[in-house]
């Protein structure tokens, strides 16, 4: 038993067979373990996201974050890449699913993989984590304040569709972590999603934190809420300990 991890950039195969840059962190211990696909937020494949990837490895999981902006901005700074992809209209949903699928395949092929895969995303990545759970055969999904899962996005965001209609295809338990003061998604949107999952008999666990708004996990932003984030991390690891253990 060792607490050693290794982390660094790898190349994975994403949607359409495209080669993508990805950040991998994994324990060196050969004991079989679950894998977590970390979907970066809209500001990109940044230092804060890579820190999350390493945290999953420290907690005993193989973790991998594909750079969803590799195609448009190879080698660019995360903020420049995010600006480029935003100007081009964002990441299409089908491409996102293909990239997450490629990341899951990479994790399943690791020597110390137990075959179980979870996904997690924050903000835009929260919506994409739900989308992934409804589109791929996964073992766990964590949606941290993903907007436009239930409600229609504003008129100008025509390329983005609500995802509630996909809920019958949700393949895995869903953990949802939300802020009571968030408007995107607001508590009403979260309640509609919870009711739909209840109706469908889909296993889910939602927590909404008082005094927290959007991005309460972000330690480098004014929206950071230590109490909510601390409890949220505990919920995430409790959830994965139940869902990603073979």
Partner 1 sequence: MCTYLTEKFALEGSGKGARGWFRLNEGTVYVDHPVHAPYGHTVNIDFRNPGLGASARVALELTEEDALALADAIHAAVKSAPAGLASRNQ
- Binding of partner 1 at residue 219 (CB under 8 A)? no
| Region binding partner 1 by CB under 8 A among candidate stretches 40-48, 56-64, 168-176, 200-208 | 40-48
Restricting to residues 221-240, which ones interact with partner 1 according to CB under 8 A? 221-223
**Paired sense of beta strands 140-144 and 113-122, if any:** parallel
Restricting to residues 91-130, which ones interact with partner 1 according to CB under 8 A? 123-124
Instruction: Give the nearer residue to partner 1 in terms of CB position, either 32 or 43.
Output: 43
- Binding of partner 1 at residue 150 (CB under 8 A)? no
Spatial distance between the Cα atoms of 72 and 114, rounded to a whole number of angstroms: 33
- Using DSSP's 3-state secondary structure scheme, residue 116 falls into strand
| Region binding partner 1 by CB under 8 A among candidate stretches 16-24, 57-65, 150-158, 238-246 | 150-158
Q: What string marks each residue from 124 to 143 as x (binds partner 1 by CB under 8 A) or -?
A: x-------------------
Contacts of 196 (CB under 8 A, 6+ apart): 150, 164, 167
Contacts of 75 (CB under 8 A, 6+ apart): none
Instruction: Give the nearer residue to partner 1 in terms of CB position, either 38 or 113.
Output: 38
| DSSP-assigned states of every residue in 44-55 | -S-HHHHHHHHH
- Binding of partner 1 at residue 151 (CB under 8 A)? no
Restricting to residues 3-32, which ones interact with partner 1 according to CB under 8 A? none
Verify cis geometry, omega within 30 degrees of 0, for the bond prior to 175.
Answer: no
Least distance from C-beta 119 to partner 1, angstroms? 18
As a whole number of Å, the end-to-end CA separation of the chain is 18
Q: What string marks each residue from 153 to 192 as x (binds partner 1 by CB under 8 A) or -?
A: xx-xx--x---------------------xxx--------
Restricting to residues 46-85, which ones interact with partner 1 according to CB under 8 A? 46, 72-73, 76-77, 79-81, 83-84
Number of residues that bind partner 1 (CB under 8 A): 33
Q: Which residue, 96, 109, 206, is CA-closest to 160? A: 96
- Binding of partner 1 at residue 90 (CB under 8 A)? yes
Residue labelled with tokens 């945290």: 55
Phi, psi of 179 (to 5 degrees): -105, 135
Angle between helices 93-108 and 124-135 (to 10 degrees): 70
| Region binding partner 1 by CB under 8 A among candidate stretches 6-14, 131-139, 220-228, 237-245 | 220-228
Q: Which residue, 31, 38, 34, is CA-closest to 245? A: 34
Element of type H or E holding 7: strand 5-13
- Interface with partner 1 (CB under 8 A): 41-43, 46, 72-73, 76-77, 79-81, 83-84, 86-87, 90, 123-124, 147, 153-154, 156-157, 160, 182-184, 213-215, 221-223
């Amino acid at each position: 038993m060792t607490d050693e991890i290794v982390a660094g950039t790898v190349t994975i195969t994403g949607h359409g067979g495209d080669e993508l840059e990805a950040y991998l962190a994994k324990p060196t211990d050969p004991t079989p373990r679950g894998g977590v696909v970390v979907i970066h937020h809209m500001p990109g494949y940044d230092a804060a996201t890579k820190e999350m990837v390493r945290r999953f490895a420290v907690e005993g999981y193989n973790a991998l974050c594909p750079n969803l902006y590799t195609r448009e901005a190879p080698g660019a700074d995360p903020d420049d890449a995010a600006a480029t992809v935003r100007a081009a209209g964002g990441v299409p949903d089908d491409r996102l699913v293909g990239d997450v699928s490629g990341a899951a395949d990479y994790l399943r092929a690791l020597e110390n993989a137990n075959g179980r895969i979870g996904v997690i995303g924050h903000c835009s990545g929260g919506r994409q984590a739900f989308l992934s759970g409804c589109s791929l055969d996964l073992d766990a999904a964590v949606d941290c304040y993903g907007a436009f899962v239930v409600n229609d996005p504003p008129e100008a965001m025509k390329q983005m569709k609500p995802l509630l209609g996909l809920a019958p295809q949700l393949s895995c338990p869903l953990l949802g972590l939300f802020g009571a003061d968030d408007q995107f998604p607001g508590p009403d949107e979260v309640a509609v999603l919870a009711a739909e999952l209840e109706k469908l008999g889909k296993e889910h666990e939602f927590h909404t934190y008082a005094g927290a708004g959007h991005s309460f996990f972000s330690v480098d932003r004014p929206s950071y809420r230590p109490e909510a984030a601390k409890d949220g991390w505990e919920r995430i690891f409790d959830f994965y300990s139940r869902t990603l253990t073979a």
